Chains A and B, each alone.
Chain A
């Protein structure tokens, strides 16, 4: 897939043949090679111990602490804590030490537990018994004792203990079947091969007699790449050299299937196995919310520092006169007096920092992390995202990005397997322009074999006949499909498939299966591969055998594959099938025009087309080809490159046979999903490797392009006529002009851009010659920005990532989401802000590398519109609220400094300082951030436009942040000066009703602080209560519970003389306060005043200029029962023209076509009828009509397309 990377790695490690130190030589069975065979480079290999654990018993504490304090927040609190320990600070070290200790301990326990589990898992793996051949006998040993060069026996259903080179298997052909489900999730059985020279070994003694060495590259993490060779020494002869590739290498973690046992030799062990090398975690992605959170933090850090500086300066200004500095009643100690003034000032600065440090709450990090971790469970728990067929629900691979799901602006989607089902169905084939269509089908079963070929052009001639035969054989032979035979299916299934041939085809590519199955329906059945001979059952029920000589495997660069076979008559034939663009240039004869026309027609209909060609090889040509191939295969260096060269030489001078067409149906609700994403303001880009016509048809079907969409083309065809420069500028002009004309109704405009891979690379290529025209990138981006949908076809995997990167890096830095199902989407998934994998048919690679994995494309809608939206508003509130409540908390303390001679006297008691963020105010917001639903799920799904309300991080932008901070400052001022005037102006006293004496008592500074703190706790909790739109019993419990907890705690804290404390300043302070009538009255008053502005702001905003979300809330409220029947709000927002356009477009030609594609109805009908017995031709007729190519038929829209 990624050749350049591999080449880079190889060239970095292996500079030349001379200093070839980075290969390893493995002595099979630890037997030295015959003297003089080659220079012996002793190498040390690790044993087979797997260590996935991070810590050992001894280094756990230091290493874990180190890891934890590498996080900036933890480090900050550690510094604060140390400052408190070292200098005399207003608050005891406990206030910051306890939360820090709590956070560190919880994290350490969690990590320690996880590591202990890993230790246990490692241990059980390492002590797993393994059979090793030693001196011709089987010796049982433990897995971790395996060494490189050991010969290992693995039995059926066992996993391989390390990376092994297959020597021989219990099967006669030296093959074995393996499933790599645990490695990459692909559960299909893959075939691995033994080298012919060793495959005959049957017993331990025979295996032990083998005298050979293996040379191979040093371990590298790519699971699908392996380069090596085996030298087999037979007595006194030149060693036999055989190439080894990935097909010989059995990977640790894979499981042996359908093979009794194998002998294999260990080449990579322990931490050098490919599985272990793949443990490395991906680079961390950070969400936009996290970035703004960090920005806010920096602001608060600046506020903190400036507060400390202001106070320090004021302090020294204020105490300039010695009577203020040291009045007679308040002297310094001798030590302090002797300290230099600079040191004193610095200590004071630090002390202020410590006093105000709570403004950056340690608990915010914990809460955010807990919110993300716990919140992500709602995704995995979601029943609606569970796919019955697959038996799996959504997966969360990282919980760091939950809220990013609510911020997506660009969606990059793969076509095959993502928009479409990747459930291929053979539609037709065309040989020299004659079209063949298999009749109605049912679950891959042939209905009537003999009469199944429907020939349009019924004038068979000899030439035609020959091509036809060759064509069908080519499709039967040119593939890598495996046949899964009856005996591998166990009893239960045999019951299900009664009376049916139970052999079926397995392949990593569904197209191939579709083709082979299609051939079966046309009368040519591929039976099996046996002893390197492919067997075909032809139309006349005769078995034909072809010797399979070479397979020139498919790759995404060549976009074709070939086989070289030898027919029973001794002819050497090269069959090739591949994309039209890669076949046509290599064709020398054949009816190119007809085939091309047919291919294009099919592509327009959205079918996947492949061209088939062949070449007859003479004996000498074959030998030459053989030579090229073997040479390339044997190369240790640049093998991929050389193979590509060899393929290039062999695959030429083709005779074109024909083309095939395979249909890939749209996934269920794909169009609906895309429409919703559009309405939600997201731009959807389709990136595909397919042809433009095919892809465009899919785009129309999936409503990515609508009838009203003006298509802009930026393709090779066009750039050939005009220069790229002109095209770009013209398009740009079009886009801009349209925008200026339409003026106000921007929403009505709808551009769609089609670009192909070649043009894209030309656009992205840095243009050296002309600096003036060099900036295509910008113009291209400008065009893209004005298009609601973009289709990129003919994309290489890396180009997909490039596009994502391009958009990511553009001016606005939009949030991108990539969704795909195949290995070719991995690069794009990794590149985008949010990568979503579809658990599709092409294995699990995309799902494994993604941040979230969902079973179907349609689940994206709920993922983004519901979950993303919720997570975003939840975390936005969480972050803003945290800053707000800490401003409320600390600002009074700052104000208090002006009234206590800048002496760093804390306003609140230590317990309150410590527990404010940990327990008094932490749970309500955590719970809010887990369960809040400002509008119901149904509304969110019904109104995708609500997503626009939160676009571009709208709840965490600076104005909003400023509002919250100002609100916090306002509240803090109210708290402080409210209490100040009550204390200052009057005798604010308790009348002592609580006690027996009816007198009035004086309150001190601690009562003052407690009063402020009580108002503070109630206000911030009630503020959250006002923000809560979704009151479940848990919310009630937590909000009222934490207020109650505060009261109970305060009563307890002040109710006892705590023996372990050296001060009793809080003794009865809270009770005395509560016994005072004015205290109650002022608490109520201050809370009311603090909450008032926020309530008024909310109410006024809602009344004057309600957002769509608020309208939705109102409507929910107004009509709770019939909410679902309401007209979508988006219609009201957008212009009328568009709303009607988007809903009634069925009658246009392209759309009709596309609807048919997305419509599962006829297929179901067909299947149903076929199952019922005979095919009712009448009811099938519309289907047949289309198939025979007579024209387009109108189909009634399916259920999902109705509005």
Chain B
């Protein structure tokens, strides 16, 4: 208090005398630091035609080869697609698609012949594709219970509210609950090679290795830990309404049964767009001498269970090889080539502009 009053007195004197500031006043002076004076050392880039030019050429020179590489790689990928929905009268599956009913006990089977005009080397991937199927519908996407799928016993018997109206059936909780699980793709696709000598050889299809490793081993877990008796574990629950068999009978292999069935896991990863394809099976390459799928006639045998005509959907079977960059993807390659050429072209335009205007600017500077 005393000190401050003295200071006040000091100040009075100074102001009336307009003399030099006292010690207390000088401390008010702002610090002369680079930050406070906004003088931090800085790099000051400016985007001018001159500086951008090289960047454009570099982008052009890098993108065009990448694009060409991508395009060539993509073109080397062999892909075969067959629509087996059975919309046309002529289609082998026409009858199956017409006479569909959920309650039919006898499976409807149809056989589609097709011809591969190129041999498929290396591993071949078999997909099923659906169109006009809104797996990304909000009501659909959220209709699942991740903790139930993770093997949580409580969620097994009390599925999440999100699963409604597929949470329980006849007062029994559904396992796995929800619309996604309920609508799981259940056509069975089998592939036969028609040997030129007339025999029909079934092509072995691998059912595992089609889901994300983390999904199979971490995210999806069967309830009851390592209890091998899934039937007992799922006691008290009921199968999803549209399923023909309960979840613990999806596969004979205990490593691929229940929630960790890979077909199921693949289905549970909801697609981004209404037209999508999902990995179904892998045809492993047997040895280096013979192509995995030689040129020739094949037969696709379909157990037609999955109705799509009610929503004007389509079902397809796709056979494809892959490369280092995934599946057939001409878009990326074309896009790279386009962008690369556009950049290159712009680089040339900028060079002209830079030459024309840059000189003018410089001369103006000099004249002043």
Binding site for B on A (CB under 8 A): 90, 157, 179, 181, 187-189, 255, 257, 323-324, 327-334, 377-378, 380-383, 386, 388-393, 484, 489-490, 493, 496, 504, 506, 870, 899-901, 903-906, 931, 933, 936-937, 978, 980-992, 995-997, 999-1005, 1007-1009, 1026, 1029-1035, 1057, 1062-1065, 1067-1068, 1072, 1076-1078, 1081-1082, 1085, 1088-1089, 1092, 1095-1096, 1098-1100, 1102-1104, 1106, 1111, 1113-1118, 1127, 1131-1132
Q: Which residues of B contact A1072 (CB under 8 A)?
A: 212, 214
Within 8 A of A (CB), among B55-91: 59, 63, 66, 70, 74
B191 within 8 A of A: no
Can you offer 19 A-B residue contacts whose CB atoms are under 8 A?
A329-B133, A334-B165, A496-B19, A903-B138, A905-B137, A933-B38, A981-B335, A983-B272, A984-B275, A987-B328, A988-B329, A997-B213, A1002-B278, A1031-B42, A1031-B43, A1062-B147, A1068-B212, A1085-B335, A1099-B48
Q: Are A393 and B13 in contact (CB under 8 A)?
A: no
B219 within 8 A of A: yes
Q: Are B219 and A1103 in contact (CB under 8 A)?
A: no
User: Chain A nearest CB: distance from B312 CB in Å?
Assistant: 7
B25 within 8 A of A: yes
Interface string of B12-46 (1 = CB under 8 A from A): 11111111111001101111100011111111111
Q: Are B358 and A1103 in contact (CB under 8 A)?
A: yes
Q: Which residues of B contact A188 (CB under 8 A)?
A: 12, 15-16
Q: Are B339 and A1088 in contact (CB under 8 A)?
A: yes
How many angstroms between the C-alpha atoms of A336 and B115 in the bound complex? 49
Partner of B368, one of A903, A1064, A1132: A1132
Given A900-B138, A990-B326, A1118-B365, check contact A324 B45 (CB 8 Å): no
User: Chain B nearest CB: distance from A227 CB in Å?
Assistant: 30
How many angstroms between the C-alpha atoms of A995 and B329 in the bound complex? 22
How many angstroms between the C-alpha atoms of A383 and B36 in the bound complex? 9
Given A328-B310, A493-B13, A1000-B279, check contact A903 B139 (CB 8 Å): yes
How many angstroms between the C-alpha atoms of A295 and B123 in the bound complex? 60
Given A187-B11, A987-B320, check contact A157 B326 (CB 8 Å): no
Q: Are B327 and A187 in contact (CB under 8 A)?
A: no
Further 20 A-B residue pairs, CB within 8 A, beyond A393-B28, A903-B136, A1000-B125: A389-B20, A900-B138, A903-B139, A905-B137, A933-B38, A987-B277, A987-B327, A1001-B211, A1002-B279, A1029-B44, A1030-B44, A1062-B160, A1068-B215, A1072-B212, A1078-B325, A1081-B336, A1096-B346, A1099-B47, A1103-B49, A1103-B357
Q: Which residues of A contact B31 (CB under 8 A)?
A: 381
Interface size on B, residues (CB 8 A): 122
Q: Which residues of B contact A1089 (CB under 8 A)?
A: 339
Q: Are A157 and B42 in contact (CB under 8 A)?
A: no
Partner of A382, one of B11, B16, B30: B30
B192 within 8 A of A: no
Q: Which residues of A contact B63 (CB under 8 A)?
A: 1085, 1088
Q: Are A333 and B165 in contact (CB under 8 A)?
A: yes
How many angstroms between the C-alpha atoms of A457 and B210 in the bound complex? 117
Q: Which residues of A contact B22 (CB under 8 A)?
A: 391
How many angstroms between the C-alpha atoms of A1099 and B49 in the bound complex? 5
Q: Which residues of A contact B260 (CB under 8 A)?
A: none
Q: Are A1004 and B271 in contact (CB under 8 A)?
A: yes
B291 within 8 A of A: no
Q: Which residues of B contact A999 (CB under 8 A)?
A: 123, 125, 209-210, 279, 282
B243 within 8 A of A: no
Please report whether the interface of chain A is mostly helix, strand, loop or mixed according to DSSP.
Answer: mixed
Q: Which residues of B contact A1067 (CB under 8 A)?
A: 214-215, 218-219
Q: Which residues of B contact A389 (CB under 8 A)?
A: 18, 20-21
User: Chain B nearest CB: distance from A508 CB in Å?
Assistant: 12
How many angstroms between the C-alpha atoms of A754 and B66 in the bound complex? 72
User: Chain A residue with minimal CB distance to B282?
Assistant: A999
How many angstroms between the C-alpha atoms of A1195 and B127 in the bound complex? 96
User: Chain B residue with minimal CB distance to A393?
Assistant: B30
How many angstroms between the C-alpha atoms of A181 and B5 in the bound complex? 12
Q: Are B332 and A390 in contact (CB under 8 A)?
A: no
How many angstroms between the C-alpha atoms of A904 and B138 in the bound complex? 6
Q: Are B331 and A991 in contact (CB under 8 A)?
A: no
Given A900-B137, A1001-B212, check contact A1032 B357 (CB 8 Å): no
User: Chain B nearest CB: distance from A524 CB in Å?
Assistant: 22
User: Chain A residue with minimal CB distance to B269?
Assistant: A1004
User: Chain A residue with minimal CB distance to B184?
Assistant: A329
How many angstroms between the C-alpha atoms of A870 and B209 in the bound complex? 59
Q: Which residues of B contact A1004 (CB under 8 A)?
A: 269-272
Q: Which residues of B contact A255 (CB under 8 A)?
A: 8
Given A987-B328, A991-B324, check contact A1031 B45 (CB 8 Å): yes
Given A982-B329, A1118-B365, check contact A1030 B271 (CB 8 Å): no
B116 within 8 A of A: no
Partner of A899, one of B40, B136, B144: B136
Q: Are A392 and B28 in contact (CB under 8 A)?
A: yes
Q: Which residues of A contact B28 (CB under 8 A)?
A: 386, 391-393
Partner of A490, one of B9, B165, B210: B9
Q: Are A981 and B44 in contact (CB under 8 A)?
A: no
Partner of A995, one of B165, B213, B332: B213
Q: Which residues of A contact B271 (CB under 8 A)?
A: 1002, 1004-1005
Q: Are A1131 and B26 in contact (CB under 8 A)?
A: no
Q: Are A933 and B42 in contact (CB under 8 A)?
A: yes
Q: Which residues of A contact B136 (CB under 8 A)?
A: 899-901, 903, 905, 1005
User: Chain B nearest CB: distance from A881 CB in Å?
Assistant: 16
Q: Which residues of B contact A937 (CB under 8 A)?
A: 38-39
How many angstroms between the C-alpha atoms of A1085 and B210 in the bound complex? 29
Q: Are A330 and B139 in contact (CB under 8 A)?
A: yes
Given A332-B139, A506-B16, check contact A1114 B361 (CB 8 Å): yes
B266 within 8 A of A: yes
User: Chain A nearest CB: distance from B54 CB in Å?
Assistant: 13
Q: Which residues of B contact A490 (CB under 8 A)?
A: 9, 13
Q: Which residues of A contact B322 (CB under 8 A)?
A: 987, 989, 991, 1000
How many angstroms between the C-alpha atoms of A331 and B218 in the bound complex? 30
Q: Which residues of A contact B38 (CB under 8 A)?
A: 378, 870, 931, 933, 937
Q: Which residues of B contact A933 (CB under 8 A)?
A: 38, 42
B52 within 8 A of A: yes
Given A330-B140, A984-B275, A1063-B146, check contact A1077 B45 (CB 8 Å): no
Report, nearest first, the 8 A-B pairs whose CB atoms are least far apart.
Answer: A987-B327, A391-B25, A329-B183, A1008-B272, A391-B21, A903-B138, A381-B36, A1004-B269
Q: Which residues of A contact B274 (CB under 8 A)?
A: 899-901
B203 within 8 A of A: no
Q: Are A980 and B327 in contact (CB under 8 A)?
A: no
Q: Are A382 and B37 in contact (CB under 8 A)?
A: yes
How many angstroms between the C-alpha atoms of A1026 and B324 in the bound complex? 34
How many angstroms between the C-alpha atoms of A800 and B298 in the bound complex? 96
Within 8 A of A (CB), among B278-326: 278-279, 282, 307, 310-312, 318, 320, 322, 324-326
Partner of B30, one of A380, A504, A988, A1116: A380
Given A378-B38, A933-B38, A1099-B48, check contact A985 B150 (CB 8 Å): no
Q: Are B46 and A1065 in contact (CB under 8 A)?
A: no
Q: Are A1098 and B29 in contact (CB under 8 A)?
A: no
How many angstroms between the C-alpha atoms of A80 and B346 in the bound complex? 45
How many angstroms between the C-alpha atoms of A496 and B19 in the bound complex? 10
Q: Are A903 and B328 in contact (CB under 8 A)?
A: no
User: Chain A residue with minimal CB distance to B102?
Assistant: A328
Q: Which residues of A contact B327 (CB under 8 A)?
A: 986-989, 1000
Among B5, B74, B143, B332, max chain A CB count under 10 A is at: B332
Interface string of B327-350 (1 = CB under 8 A from A): 111111001100100110010001
How many angstroms between the C-alpha atoms of A393 and B318 in the bound complex? 76
B182 within 8 A of A: yes
Given A1077-B324, A1085-B339, A1103-B357, check contact A1057 B70 (CB 8 Å): no
Among A324, A386, A989, A991, max chain B CB count under 10 A is at: A989
